[in-house]
Structure 1
Amino acid sequence: MDRPVVACVLAGGLGSRLYPASRRDRPKQLRSLVGERSLLARTMDRTAFADEQYVLTRESFADTVSEHAPQAGVLVEPAGKDTGPALVYAAWRLRKQFDTEPVLICLPSDHYVADDAAFATRLERAAEIAVETGGLVTVGVEPTRPSPGYGYVVPTDGLEADTDDYAAVTQFTEKPDREHARELIDAGAYWNVGVFAWKPSALLAAARNSPLAPLVESLAAGDPRGGFEAVEASSVDYAIIERATNVFVTPLSVGWDDLGTWDAVGRILERAGDESNDVVAGRVLAIDATGNVVAAPDAHVSLLEVDDLIVTAFGNRLLIAPRDASQRVRDVVDRLRHRDAF
């Protein structure tokens, strides 16, 4: 390719649904929840093919991020306002870093990928498509179940992960109910997993026709902080991608999961073994107990005649909840924030 490929890894979130492992001063991307290396370090490994790597994070995480990604540059966003403002800011900053406009590969730091080599190959191809089309490219993961927790992207024509390269996007649907998700999958939809490729100029042009236009104007005037103050928090999907006309999807068919909940962490551990309970950390005695997710690195946990629970203990914080309520852990964190106890 005649321009640099730059990996931009998003690592500024708090990961509230993985409380109490994820806290204000130690978010999930800096934890080793699956394997021995942190989620951020593993993400940096699978983007090592890029010419340069950057991590986009908040100021309070910057020093610790450098410990987990010493090879990467660190971009500090002026404020935490979700992925929309963050990625517009990164595009503006990184376009100025290079003599030739780069192509950016933007991805979260908290995903599980079963085949790093296949993932890297697809990201490299996504970068090429972004240059070929001049558009915004999303990597669509082939669904394995009708999950209501993910967004869905429908290509204009049939798109086979094993044979087709990419297609234009005709529809985005964010977190449908289970029945609608099943209908979308039957219609050929892919999971929209927040992995993108684009030239900075393409994203900035699309942002000028979006609710983030005030941010683009302020960045052009050299006032990033004022630009962040002028816009609401919003995801890049909602603010830009779903409104743009030049959006393409390229398919990925490897094992993937968003490690955003304890249930998701349990799913990954289930793939790795055949234990009746999924132990992230700690020592567990289980008697007539199955399907529980246990994360208690400094404790011994005894389970007796209980099924499908989340049992987590980090420091002086303990959380016990039904496994199917893993999305609602965020409600706990919201209450704790009101008490300044997160």
Structure 2
Amino acid sequence: MTSAPVVALVLAGGTGSRLYPASRSTRPKQFLPLLGEETLLERTVDRASFADHVVVSTRPELEADVRDLVPGAEVVVEPVGKDTGPALAYATHCIGERYGDDAVVVVLPSDHTVGDVARFTETLERGAGVARAADRLVAFGVDPTRPETGYGYIEPGREHDGFADLDAFHEKPDAETAARYIEAGYLWNAGMFAWRVETFRAAAHDSPLAPLVRALDDGDVDGGFDAVEPTSVDYAVMERVSDAVVVPLEVPWDDLGSWDALARLLPADDDGNVVHAGTDVGEAGHETDGSEADAALFVDSGDNVVVSDGPHVSLAGVDGLAVVAWDDRVLVVPKESAQRVRDVVSMLKQQGRF
């Protein structure tokens, strides 16, 4: 008997507000080629080659760009963005309709960077096997390399062969708590999961997503989305089940969630400055290349991140900044406060300027 297929589900409906101003409502970060010629979305789909099928979940206004960038993937379009809970409930429902309730879904956000792709692939295949054989909801937890305050954490419990019981999720901590988490052996919550379609559906039926799941069963997609509030899949489903498990992911990994991440991922000069001469991807997917050598000048300055899609940036006598010049916008923020770009975007949205 042929085993049920493994379906890689790539999430590409968010904006990535902490990468403003390069990331905007009409040009989310997954469409940006921040680490080479390929966009983050293309790189993620390339890493999903282990799966039998690749499905990309996105929102209506981004559908055309997604189809243009990854024409080999199937696309599921959620009617409105309401965070990962509704998005994954809908996409999992669609995968079940296409490939059956025994299909194994492996969830991949589209804004990650991964080293050792072979080991990454082996770990995801192992997690898919656990989801199928043990009939559990699986989270992938990254082995942390620093006390990071920008990530949530997973507390593993009793160990089994290749996975552990998932005892608890923990929200993004302060620096002291993050250090304590690292010492206790907690893992970073990477937002990557695996589950059988039917296993997830059963869990979602007993969660805040229940109105959406019932409406999807009745064929009322719009009504289902209207009936639920925005919520993450962690809060809506994963934290509420008693038998979820975690599979450790022991590979170089980073979340391109804020500008300080580039300091860890791109080569620096002798003073620790990192420059990215941005390449923009237009509506038809065409790129215009920049030049790092022409993008920035540093005078008595170190440990800075400069990103520009054209304007030259000069820094004198400053350290530890992220300076981003993109389109007609400029952002300046201390690297250690890079998460606060979210606050900037919130204010811009209130003013109708995002």
Say yes or no: TM over 0.5. Answer: yes
Q: What CA distance in whole angstroms lies between the structure 2 residues aligned with 1:273 and 1:284?
A: 12
Contact 1:152 1:173 in 2 (8 A): yes
Question: In structure 2, do the counterparts of structure 1 residues 275 and 44 end up closer, same or farther at CA, with 3 Å as the change threshold?
Answer: farther
* 1:172-251 equivalences in 2 (<5 Å): 172-251=169-248
Q: What CA distance in whole angstroms lies between the structure 2 residues aligned with 1:320 and 1:100?
A: 48
Contact 1:293 1:311 in 2 (8 A): yes
Q: What CA distance in whole angstroms lies between the structure 2 residues aligned with 1:187 and 1:323?
A: 27
Residue identity in the other structure for 2:244:
V
Cα deviation code 1:212-260 (max 9, x no counterpart): 1111111111111111111110110011101111201111111111101
Aligned alpha-carbon RMSD (Å): 1.5
Alpha-carbon shift at residue 99 of structure 1 (Å)? 4.9
Q: Tell me the matched-pair count.
A: 337
Contact 2:101 2:198 in 1 (8 A): no
Q: What CA distance in whole angstroms lies between the structure 1 residues aligned with 2:119 and 2:352?
A: 43
Alignment partner, residue 286 of structure 2 = none
Contact 1:158 1:188 in 2 (8 A): no
* 1:186-335 equivalences in 2 (<5 Å): 186-270=183-267, 276-281=272-277, 282=292, 283-335=295-347
Structure 1: gaps (5+ residues): none
TM-score, scaled to structure 1:
0.95
SS at match of 1:35: coil
Alpha-carbon shift at residue 337 of structure 1 (Å)? 1.1
Cα deviation code 1:104-141 (max 9, x no counterpart): 00110000111222111111111100001101001110
Contact 2:17 2:24 in 1 (8 A): yes
SS at match of 1:156: strand
Moved over 3 A (4+): 272-275
SS at match of 1:157: strand
Alpha-carbon shift at residue 265 of structure 1 (Å)? 2.1
Q: What CA distance in whole angstroms lies between the structure 1 residues aligned with 2:251 and 2:238?
A: 24
Q: What CA distance in whole angstroms lies between the structure 2 residues aligned with 1:308 and 1:21?
A: 20
Alpha-carbon shift at residue 187 of structure 1 (Å)? 1.9
Alpha-carbon shift at residue 77 of structure 1 (Å)? 0.6
Q: What CA distance in whole angstroms lies between the structure 1 residues aligned with 2:96 and 2:21?
A: 38
Identity of aligned residues (%): 51
Contact 1:284 1:301 in 2 (8 A): yes
Structure 2: gaps (5+ residues): 278-291
Alignment partner, residue 29 of structure 2 = 28
* 1:11-26 equivalences in 2 (<5 Å): 11-26=12-27
TM-score, scaled to structure 2:
0.92
